[in-house]
Structure 1
Amino acid sequence: MLKTLRIILSIVGVMLAVFCLITQNVEFIPYLMLILSISIMITGGIELQKDKKEFWGYMCIGVSLFAFYVSIQGFLLS
């Protein structure tokens, strides 16, 4: 379930990034950052669900929280 959701969010994120690059439109960057943060959070959850509690699971969650903060700042400033 989580792997499918991660793949779907990654595809949507890539499509949105390509759209922003082609059209030179930066209005959708906060949405892209939000999708990115959710995708990285899911990746961190998948890593933590494994038997090994490794550094990368916690690192993914930390990075996703930072990306979420940046996306919220983008929504508030624009």
Structure 2
Amino acid sequence: MLKALQLIFSIVTVGLALYMMLTHNDQFLSLLNILLGLTMLVLGVIEWQKSKEISAWLLFFVALFSWFVGIYRMIN
């Protein structure tokens, strides 16, 4: 289940990033940050299940930072 979520979030994130890069359109940048945060959260849960707590915590912090940047960019 988590591998499927990881694959879906990764494909959507890379697809959106490619679209933004090819069209030179940055209006979806905050959405891209939020999707990247979701991807990092799923990766963190997978690492936590493998008993790799240090890398899991790092991925959780990266996800939180990415969400913060995405939401901050949406507000301002």
TM tier relative to shorter chain:
over 0.9
Where 2:27 maps in the other structure, the secondary structure is coil
* Letter of the 2:43 counterpart: T
Give percent identity, aligned residues only: 37
Please state if 1:21 is matched with 2:21.
Answer: yes
- After superposing on structure 2, the runs of 4+ consecutive aligned residues of structure 1 that deviate more than 4 Å are none
* TM-score under structure 2 length normalisation: 0.95
Please state if 1:48 is matched with 2:52.
Answer: no
Q: Which residue of 1 aligns with 2:71?
A: 72
Cα distance in structure 1, aligned partners of 2:52 and 2:17: 32
Two-structure CA RMSD over aligned residues (Å)? 0.8
May I ask how many residue pairs the two structures share in their alignment?
Answer: 76
Where 1:31 maps in the other structure, the secondary structure is helix
* TM-score under structure 1 length normalisation: 0.93
